[in-house]
Amino acid sequence: MSKDYYKILGVDKGTTKEEIKKSFRKLAHEYHPDKKTGNEDKFKEINEAYQVLGDDNKRKQYDQYGADFEQQGGFGGGMNWNDFMNKARSGDFENFSSQGGSTWSEDGIDLGDIFGDIFGFGGGRSRGRSRTMRGNDIQVSVELEFREAIFGVEKEIRLTKNNVCSVCSGSGAESGAGTETCSDCRGQGQIKRVQQTILGAMQSVVTCQRCQGSGQIPKKVCKHCSGKGVVHSDSKYKVKIPAGISDGEMIRLSEKGESAGVGSNPGDLYVRVHVKSENGFERQGFDIFTAINISYPQAVLGDKVEINTLEGKKNLIIPEGTISGQKFKLKGLGVPRLQRSGKGDQYVTVIIDVPKKISKKVKKILEELKGEL
């Protein structure tokens, strides 16, 4: 039985192209497999319908012959489903369109625009604009003392990586030599390629590798970097470690990663923090846990004892009748809350020491007390 593509998209036969696109976008949001409400079979069906109704020529053929015309090769087929989903999830639809001579043809189906907001890669780039290359991100580690992580510290990071050439400032050209139009892309910064798929002829636009999308190449290349605009060299950065950072957390230094050469933007540098432990202190989130040993008489009679905190020595009041394992909270003596105001608390666990050996005198006193307790 012939498929009713208009019914599948929930539109009438006389609906405008913009309304068809709007309806497809809504249904794609609802049914695409990466969502909780997703239905892959349904998504395939609405995609098939849009590939026909979203294209003026195919829609005209469909209105005249119906969906059965596809079986005779009239629609030119569609993209392989696995390829379709892989491109959608990777954002590769930005560079694709249906046949029509231009990547952003009026008659073409702008898949980058349709799927950009669904799959999160942000389609709809302006006509003719090339994608700027980006250097690699880098991750390094820094080791902190326990209290450096608590109170914050400044560290110096040293590493060797691909950096912008300091002589030509990343242009790849000798100073004063000037540039000329790239012969590979004729100054466009992009090269168009046509690929035959079961959707028909699909056109992609890729960044020109020779000029890296700039459309210009140096008349005389920089001797220091051989025209690449990048050199492998040492770098050092001062990193401010915020108070309260936890073990394993990372700090991002924007555009401090590697350069990819002429016409590129640097990647980012990520600094992963590893925090050493400190005897007597245990951290859980923004709270600090410590323990203190007291004698049996102190537990029974109560006392004032000195304890260690992150802010130095403090006095802790032990009330009468304290039992072993009892915890006391010292408010605000914990870890500064990262990117928030205030601090966590310190919890002190009391451990009562019971001597293994006692004198005859002490033993006699305890035996006398046994009957009274």
Let me know whether 272 and 136 are in one domain: yes
Let me know whether 143 and 160 are in one domain: yes
**Structure token digits, residue 104:** 């952003």
Let me know whether 325 and 297 are in one domain: yes
User: What's the confidence (pLDDT) of residue 278?
Assistant: 96
Confidence of residue 95 (pLDDT cuts 50, 70, 90): very low
Let me know whether 313 and 286 are in one domain: yes
List phi, psi (to 5°) of 57.
-65, -45
Let me know whether 272 and 301 are in one domain: no
Confidence of residue 170 (pLDDT cuts 50, 70, 90): confident
Let me know whether 160 and 295 are in one domain: no
- Tell me the pairing of strands 264-265 and 133-134: parallel
In the listed set 241, 276, 311, which residue is the last one of a domain according to the structure? 276
pLDDT(103) > 70: no
In the listed set 276, 292, 309, which residue is the last one of a domain according to the structure? 276
User: What's the confidence (pLDDT) of residue 361?
Assistant: 85
Identify whether 206 is part of a domain. Answer: no
What mean pLDDT is reported for the chain? 80
d(Cα 129, Cα 134) in Å, to the nearest integer? 15
User: What's the confidence (pLDDT) of residue 127?
Assistant: 40
Identify whether 241 is part of a domain. Answer: yes
Among candidate residues 51, 30, 50, 49, the one with its CA nearest the CA of residue 39: 30
Q: What is the pLDDT of residues 27-42, one digit of tens each?
A: 888 887 666 677 878 8
What SS3 state is found at 181? strand
Identify whether 102 is part of a domain. Answer: yes
Confidence of residue 294 (pLDDT cuts 50, 70, 90): very high
Identify whether 213 is part of a domain. Answer: no
Q: Which residue has the higher pLDDT, 370 or 159?
A: 159
pLDDT(82) > 70: no
Confidence of residue 293 (pLDDT cuts 50, 70, 90): very high
- CATH value at residue 323: 2.60.260.20
Range in 60-64, 192-196, 270-274, 281-285 with the lowest mean pLDDT: 192-196
pTM: 0.57
Identify whether 295 is part of a domain. Answer: yes
| Residue 172 near residue 182, CB atoms below 8 Å | no
| Residue 163 near residue 229, CB atoms below 8 Å | no
In the listed set 276, 309, 341, which residue is the last one of a domain according to the structure? 276
Range in 61-75, 86-100, 128-142 with the lowest mean pLDDT: 86-100
Return binding residues: 165, 168, 182, 185, 208, 211, 222, 225
Q: Which residue has the higher pLDDT, 262 or 314?
A: 314
Range in 22-26, 107-111, 194-198 with the lowest mean pLDDT: 107-111
**Structure token digits, residue 139:** 């991750």
Confidence of residue 131 (pLDDT cuts 50, 70, 90): low
Let me know whether 49 and 111 are in one domain: yes
Let me know whether 28 and 140 are in one domain: no
Identify whether 204 is part of a domain. Answer: no
Confidence of residue 57 (pLDDT cuts 50, 70, 90): confident
User: What's the confidence (pLDDT) of residue 62?
Assistant: 83
**Structure token digits, residue 87:** 């491109």
Identify whether 199 is part of a domain. Answer: no
User: What's the confidence (pLDDT) of residue 290?
Assistant: 97
Let me know whether 272 and 313 are in one domain: no
pLDDT(298) > 80: yes
Let me know whether 32 and 59 are in one domain: yes
d(Cα 114, Cα 325) in Å, to the nearest integer? 62
Q: Which residue has the higher pLDDT, 320 or 114?
A: 320
Number of domains the chain contains: 3
Looking only at Cα atoms, what is the longest distance across the chain? 113
Let me know whether 151 and 256 are in one domain: yes
Return binding residues for Zn(2+): 165, 168, 182, 185, 208, 211, 222, 225
Let me know whether 236 and 348 are in one domain: no
Angle of helix 111-119 relative to helix 81-90, nearest 10 degrees, comes to 70
Average pLDDT over residues 100-124: 42
Identify whether 327 is part of a domain. Answer: yes
* Domain residue limits at 31: 5-119
User: What's the confidence (pLDDT) of residue 245?
Assistant: 95
| Residue 112 near residue 93, CB atoms below 8 Å | yes
